[in-house]
Structure 1
Amino acid sequence: MIKGRNLLCKVSVKDIAFINAIFEWYHEVGTVRTRDRKNGIIEIWLSPDFYEEGLKAIEYLKNEGFVQKIEILEEVGDNWHRE
């Protein structure tokens, strides 16, 4: 059973709080945690039930200019509590 998917993303530092707030509002879709604030690296955990919707939300934020930069660097697995 997939617990979810973690996406490591590079974003503009100024947009971290906004992205976090969006996913807090739609907490059933995903959760954000900051991995490296100085370099704008965040990890977004997407729920397996809402994975496609989460990807659409990321694309929407990017394409509509709500965030300056959001780039998925890699999928890092499904274990949110590994560290």
Structure 2
Amino acid sequence: MPIFVKIEEGKVDKTTFDQHVPAHKAYVQQLIALGHKPRSGYWAKKGGGMMIFEADSMAEAEAIIAADPLVKNGCVNYQLYEWRIVME
């Protein structure tokens, strides 16, 4: 299954952002249950983060990201890439 990476940058204040973190965590748990193998986290330096996950296509990956509470609630700007592993 292809691997996708969402690289994000926060665009709201921390209080607003933090209101949506529990819903984001619950959403990531749903993605785990659905077999998308997500990993989500934030940069040690304040201001952004990344989620890596599997999806069948770019269209499915875009739908997954669009449903993320951090995106739905306008908390982040993001870029979405398909990641092709060269070496393991």
TM bin, normalised by shorter chain, reads 0.5 to 0.7
Aligned residues: 76
Partner residue of 1:22?
27
CA RMSD of aligned residues (A): 3.4
- The equivalences for 1:3-82 within 5 A come to 3-11=2-10, 12=12, 13-14=17-18, 15-27=20-32, 28-36=35-43, 38-39=46-47, 41-49=48-56, 51-61=58-68, 66-73=72-79, 75=81, 77-78=83-84
Whole-angstrom distance in 1 between the partners of 2:53 and 2:8: 12
Q: Deviations over 1:18-54 (max 9, x none)?
A: 2232022122235142132631x22121314264323
Larger Rg: 2
> Normalised by the size of structure 1, how large is the TM-score?
0.55
Query: Which runs of 5 or more structure 2 residues have no equivalent in the other structure?
Result: none
> Normalised by the size of structure 2, how large is the TM-score?
0.53
Query: Which runs of 5 or more structure 1 residues have no equivalent in the other structure?
Result: none
Identity rate of aligned residues, in percent?
A: 7
The alpha-carbon deviation at position 3 of structure 1 amounts to 4.7
